[in-house]
Amino acid sequence: MTRVSQLFISSLIAGAALLQLSCGDATADNKEQASPDEGSKSEAKANTTAQPTKPVIKSEEEWKKSLTPEQFEILRKHGTERAWGKAYDEWKKQGAGTYYCVGCNAELFSSKEKFDARCGWPAFFDSSKHENIKTLRDTSFGTVRIEVRCNVCDGHLGHVFSGEGFDTPTDQRYCINGKVLKFVPFAEAGKTDSKKKAE
């Protein structure tokens, strides 16, 4: 019995810590700077954690309508955002939460796999949903790199590098464009889920 109540208390403490993280100043700033592509805020909130159930396929014109010009350039045209940009600064400030694809909302990474590789782009040592990630050999620019794409909408996300000597469980560096990631704090995702259950 004692063990059970200890467990209960420690989970309460963990929950409170998560809430504190998600209510921090950094998160509030990010919400204010949220890009106009999200449409109405209530709509975005209702769909924050809804996962696609089949491949998302759109025409170039449809993608242009649903993405910002920068997101379109990265996801659909294999572009790369500027290093040390605003998206990287925001990513560094974000607390515990999940990263979704801006193209199709598929879960890609979480704060549990996040680490600062000091390379100017968001870095993760693994994906939080392997089935939503695919890798391809990329021989552009006269080098051989491994491209990382979203497996649901086929959007370009970045590249993955291995064996660079990072002190992480995989020693892999998923070097990802921050502008194509949508961050949702764990606490906010939980609220959405509980609302759904109540309905």
Residue 176 CA to residue 107 CA, distance in Å, equals: 14
Per the annotation, the verdict on 119 as an active-site residue is no
User: Closest distance between Zn ion and the C-beta of residue 100, in Å?
Assistant: 8
Classify residue 10 as exposed, middle or buried by CB count within 10 Å of its CB (0-12, 13-18, 19+): exposed
How far from chain centre, in Å, is Cα 164?
A: 22
User: Are residues 49 and 128 in contact, defined by beta-carbon separation less than 8 angstroms?
Assistant: no
User: Closest distance between Zn ion and the C-beta of residue 112, in Å?
Assistant: 20
- Among 21, 67, 74, 104, which residue interacts with Zn ion (rule: CB under 5 A)? 104
Closer Cβ to Zn ion, 63 or 121, answer by number = 63
Closer Cβ to Zn ion, 77 or 93, answer by number = 77
* Contact status: 101 vs Zn ion (CB under 5 A): yes
* Interface segment toward Zn ion; rule CB under 5 A; list 36-44, 97-105, 157-165, 182-190: 97-105
Residue 147 CA to residue 158 CA, distance in Å, equals: 6
Residues from 128 through 187 that contact Zn ion (CB under 5 A): 150, 152-153, 155
* Interface segment toward Zn ion; rule CB under 5 A; list 17-25, 89-97, 99-107, 171-179: 99-107
Residue ranges of E strands in 35-122: 97-101, 107-110
**What would the two tokens of residue 43 be?**
């709509």
Binding site residues, Zn ion, CB under 5 A: 101, 103-104, 106, 150, 152-153, 155
Which residues are identified as catalytic? Answer: 175
